[in-house]
Amino acid sequence: MSAIAPAKPLPYLQVLDVTGNVVNPALMPKLTDDALRDLMYRMVFTRVWDQRAVKLTRQGRLGFYAPVAGQEASMVGSEAATTRDDFLLPSYRDVPQAVWHGWPLYQAFLYSRGHQHGGQFPDGVNVLIPQIIIGAQVVQATGVGLAFKLKGEKRVAFTYIGDGGTSQGDFYEGINFAGAFRTPTVFVVQNNQFAISVPVSLQTAAETLAKKAAAAGIPGVQVDGMDVLAVYGAMKQAVERAREGGGPSLIETLTFRYGPHTMSGDDPTRYRSKELEEEWQQKDPLVRFRHYLSQRNLWSQKDEEAVIEEAKTAVNEALKKADEYQSMTLPGLIDRMFETLPDDLLAQRAELAD
């Protein structure tokens, strides 16, 4: 009986090293100076917004919130490689991608508070409400991709899941169906090392999460998730491949969340060492990309300060609008459940009116 041949190693993609110097020129995506500046703008804006959202949650002014600091390159770089016609199916941490894809920020705040209007996306915003059920978005993204394929539309569905989410059955079912039917879907696994509190080493025996793509018969790559250019390049290739009928892809971005899993009582110091956190701070995506742009005279301290002030203003305005939005009521909730209310809800509605 012959031995099983070892699997071929998957590509690991990196454009910039931790100091912001180009180490793989061949992988450099073709981006204009304005596009490069926009990536930095979005990452700085997202970092400022995240810092404010964390404080607002602690003050009781937001509801559920999952911090994103450290994952900006993974989030911003991947979304920027899509078009507004492509359809985003986010998980609960992927609010930045949804906002950059067109979801108004004030509605994202309302969503965090559990307000119904938060999920009423404006016409033309191709985003589904962030999924709380771990892995369900993977199955949904496959379905949306299949719909695009059956309609003959050159559009792509893309979705995100964390390292812990790849242990869910929905993850395997989704990528398997996508592979079998060659749907135009891109799956981004944001490997931030610990899921909620379980390290990847205990989560799976797979050498990398990208290798899980092999079971579905689809391409898989691992990317330096702290390198916005590497993420953008990998996502751009996968999206265009899907758009032209090449089928789905899986991208694993190696990243790190600096804060807790959510603001609902998680304490990362209980399962992460200070040394590990300091190690990843040295890989900060904003510091790395700032160095690269500064070397090319495309970014300055003045530019960064301007974005910081703009982000603070935008967050304050969005929060003010969310605060002023009409509060939910039980009758209003019932009224919005169906176009024509069934008898049992009509009875409940009548009881509330008494």
- Please compute, for residue 219, the number of CA atoms within 13 A of its CA located in the half-sphere on the CB side: 19
pLDDT given at position 291:
97
In a domain, 311, yes or no: yes
Report the C-alpha gap between 118 and 290 in whole angstroms. Answer: 33
Residue in this structure with the two tokens 């559920």, named with its chain if needed? 64
pLDDT digit string, tens, across residues 223-233: 999 999 999 99
Query: Per-residue pLDDT for 4 more than 80?
Result: no
In a domain, 335, yes or no: no
Structure confidence at residue 9 as a pLDDT band (50, 70, 90) = low
pLDDT digit string, tens, across residues 333-344: 888 889 999 999
Q: Which among 47, 113, 115, 261 is annotated as catalytic?
A: 261
In a domain, 173, yes or no: yes
Give CA angle at 334 (331, 338), nearest 5°.
145
Structure confidence at residue 2 as a pLDDT band (50, 70, 90) = very low
In a domain, 345, yes or no: no
In a domain, 7, yes or no: no
Contacts made by residues 335-341, CB under 8 angstroms, sequence distance 24+: 336/116
Q: Which among 257, 288, 290, 292 is annotated as catalytic?
A: 257
pTM of the complete model: 0.93
CA 22 to chain centroid: 25
In a domain, 123, yes or no: yes
pLDDT digit string, tens, across residues 145-158: 999 999 999 999 99
Cβ neighbours of residue 148 closer than 8 Å, sequence gap 6 or more: 87, 154, 155, 156, 157, 183, 184
Catalytic residue status for 271: yes
In a domain, 223, yes or no: yes
> What is the CATH number for 194?
3.40.50.970
Question: Mean pLDDT of all residues in the chain?
Answer: 94
Work out how many domains the chain is built from and give that number.
1
In a domain, 265, yes or no: yes
By residue range, what is the domain housing residue 107? 12-328
pLDDT digit string, tens, across residues 267-310: 999 999 999 999 999 999 999 999 999 999 999 999 999 999 99
Q: Which among 58, 84, 271, 336 is annotated as catalytic?
A: 271
pLDDT given at position 331:
86
